[in-house]
Amino acid sequence: MPARSDITAGTKVVTLLGEYPELEDLLISMSPAFAKLRNPVLRRGVARVATLRQAAAVGRLDAVELVNELRVAAGQSPLAEMDVEDVEYFGPAPEWFDQAAVVKVLREQDLDPDVMPINPLLRAVRDLGEGESVELVTAHLPAPGIDILRRKGHLVWSATHDGLIHTFVARATIA
137-158 confidence digits (pLDDT tens)? 988 888 888 888 988 899 999 9
Within this chain, do residues 68 and 27 fall inside the same structural domain, yes or no?
yes
Domain assignment of residue 47, yes or no: yes
Predicted confidence at residue 70, as pLDDT, reads 96
Domain hosting 162: range is: 99-170
Q: Total domain count for the chain?
A: 2
Within this chain, do residues 163 and 103 fall inside the same structural domain, yes or no?
yes
Whether the pTM exceeds 0.75: the reply is no
Q: Radius of gyration (Cα) for the chain, nearest Å?
A: 17
Q: What 3-state DSSP class applies to 90?
A: strand
User: What are φ and ψ of residue 23, in 5° steps?
Assistant: -95, 0
* Contact indicator for 167, 94 with CB cutoff of 8 Å: no
* Contact indicator for 149, 156 with CB cutoff of 8 Å: yes
Q: What 3-state DSSP class applies to 107?
A: strand
What average pLDDT does range 112-118 have in this prediction? Answer: 77
Domain assignment of residue 92, yes or no: no
Domain assignment of residue 155, yes or no: yes
Within this chain, do residues 62 and 103 fall inside the same structural domain, yes or no?
no
pLDDT at 174 over 70: no
* Contact indicator for 123, 112 with CB cutoff of 8 Å: no
Within this chain, do residues 68 and 112 fall inside the same structural domain, yes or no?
no
